[in-house]
A and B are shown apart, each in its own frame.
Chain A
Amino acid sequence: MSRRLFRWAVAAPLALVLAAGLTGCGSGTADTSAPASSGGAAKTLTVFAAASLTGTFTELGTTFEAAHPGTTVKFNFGSSATLAQQITQDAPADVFAAASPATMKTVTDASLAGQPTTFVRNRLEIAVPAGNPAKVNGLKDLADPKTKVALCAEQVPCGAAAVKALDAAGLTVTPVTLEQDVKATLTKVELGEVDAALVYKTDVIAAGDKVQGISFPEAEKAINDYPIAALTKAPAGDLAKEFVDLVLSPQGRDVLTKAGFDAP
């Protein structure tokens, strides 16, 4: 009896593992999204947005809630690539606003979103700690080996843009670190651990007094488009489109340009 029990105890998890392995290969398109609760009083709109939109979208969310009584807007801010991955794994999202067309493409390729619209553009700036201790004036100062520079990793949008801008300027910069996202890069500047970093203009503005921004002409070559789209499986249905319309409206643009974004 006991031996049989033990054998079972070993066999059961193995069977589970096998089953998981088999189903794992075929799954990926399971529909888990809840049906839209149309007509209900309390509705929730879930917006997945790039981390750089945290401030502006939170503000627009409040505006949206005021215009649609009974509706709650929930945000999931993060790296665009991570968000895109979550959406393709059937995360219950209504709207996706990405920091790069490439990350939006993974969602549209999976037929999970309609035609995306570019709603803002973001340009790079050189961020230096308050007081600019290393006396950085332009992009060429970043190539000085004495200057400690932080860049975003090439895998994330701000890193790809940095490479483009540096290539356009014909400069080779050896950074001390390739950070995992733009906020982490900016933190290194805020703490004075690096002399300069390439981040978005909006991030420099959001950081306030702790960081100074220096614009440079080559940033023109590395403008980042931000696409937004309502998702086809949006649990909140039409509300998703209404939120996109708000972002694209003059009122939405006003909030975004105030934060440092360029109009498309």
Chain B
Amino acid sequence: MTLSTRSTPPTAQGEARRRPGRSGVSGRVPWMLLVPAVVGMAFLVLPLAGLLARAPWATLARRLAEPQVLEALRLSLLTATAATAVCLLLGVPLAWLLARVDFPGRRLVRALVTVPLVLPPVVGGVALLLVLGRRGLIGQWLDDAFGVTLPFTTAGVVVAEAFVAMPFLVISVEGALRAADRRFEEAAATLGASRWTAFRRVTLPLIAPGVVAGGVLCWARALGEFGATITFAGNFPGRTQTMPLAVYLALETEPEAAIVLSLVLLAVSVIILACLRDKWVNSP
């Protein structure tokens, strides 16, 4: 995620002027950085190579055409997108609150917001059941008043994914807000704009790259979500069985099918992420 800081500290420029020799050599990469960087890259890429090496290419087309695979893929894309929408709707205002409003207990709230990041997703799923389940604190009331139960529904998948993915969005949007120049908002205020107008017309366009980057990260996390989803929403083909769940169950009996499913999920996510990145996120 790249967040551009607008104000360049004056000292950095001065330092560059003092050492003119440095600016000429743009290429020499220090070994101390190159070696770990290459190892890191290999570490991330090799497991993918392993998947490719073991993929049953001969039966790939036949396996892909299975209706269950397409159904799981459709459900995955649908729920990840819906979860990202929920996260944007709730997460951006939350990030704004954390970055712009001074209220007591703000540090505690910020820490709590990131809890789903460290919580094992399965525990997150159990926690969701305890609150939103049929006998949960809120779920019980939802069931009595509206006859609505979230577990074992597609909406439940969206809830589980949003729970796990939202911190990614909140953290990156909050970072963008902190890096953004507040003087623009202050200027808007002096010109008579309300805080809501300033947020809508000035702040939001200013932090758009950060929001998109956070959204992409959030979507990617939601797409790969497994633990909270299977715990809270269960696993039923066509309704709650997303790709990661299908992969896990395929692994029980047919490891080759699991590899095929993983490759599909991988290919789709890489394509979408690559497109989004080029279009929206100004990475150098």
Contacts and interface: CB of A to CB of B under 8 A. Distances in A.
Instruction: Note whether A and B form a binding pair.
Output: yes
A34 B284 CA distance: 49
Contacts of A215: none
A20 B50 contact: yes
A2 interface: yes
A188 B231 CA distance: 8
A85 to B, nearest CB: 7
B10 to A, nearest CB: 30
Contact of A16 (B46, B129, B130): B46
A25 B56 CA distance: 11
A177 B50 contact: no
Given A2-B28, A184-B230, A184-B231, A177 B240 contact: yes
Interface residues of A, number: 36
Nearest to A195: B134
A168 interface: no
Interface string A1-35: 11101100100110011001110110000000000
Contact of B42 (A16, A22, A24): A16
Contacts of B248: 180
Interface in B217-234: 230-231, 233-234
A176 interface: yes
Contacts of B49: 17, 20-21, 24
B29 interface: yes
Contact of A188 (B45, B234, B251): B234
A2 B25 CA distance: 9
Contacts of A1: 27-28
A20 B52 CA distance: 10
Contact of B133 (A12, A17, A82, A192): A192
Contact of B50 (A12, A24, A178, A188): A24
Give the most central of A1, A21, A193: most B CB within 10 Å.
A193
B54 A153 contact: no
A150 interface: yes
Contacts, number: 107
A17 B236 contact: no
Main secondary structure on B side of the interface with A: helix
B234 A177 contact: yes
Given A9-B38, A13-B38, A13-B42, A191 B236 contact: no
A150 B233 CA distance: 12
B250 interface: yes
B163 to A, nearest CB: 17
B249 A176 contact: no
Given A16-B42, A17-B49, A191-B129, A176 B234 contact: yes
A179 B235 contact: yes
B129 A175 contact: no
B249 A24 contact: no
B32 interface: no
A150 to B, nearest CB: 7
Contact of B45 (A2, A17, A24, A148): A17
Contact of A193 (B133, B235, B253): B133
28 contacts: A1-B28, A2-B27, A2-B29, A6-B27, A9-B38, A12-B38, A12-B42, A13-B38, A13-B45, A17-B45, A17-B49, A21-B49, A81-B253, A82-B251, A85-B255, A153-B249, A153-B252, A155-B250, A156-B252, A177-B240, A178-B241, A180-B248, A180-B252, A187-B126, A188-B234, A191-B130, A193-B133, A193-B135
The 10 closest A-B pairs by CB, nearest first: A177-B234, A2-B27, A24-B53, A155-B252, A176-B152, A21-B53, A17-B49, A192-B135, A81-B252, A155-B253
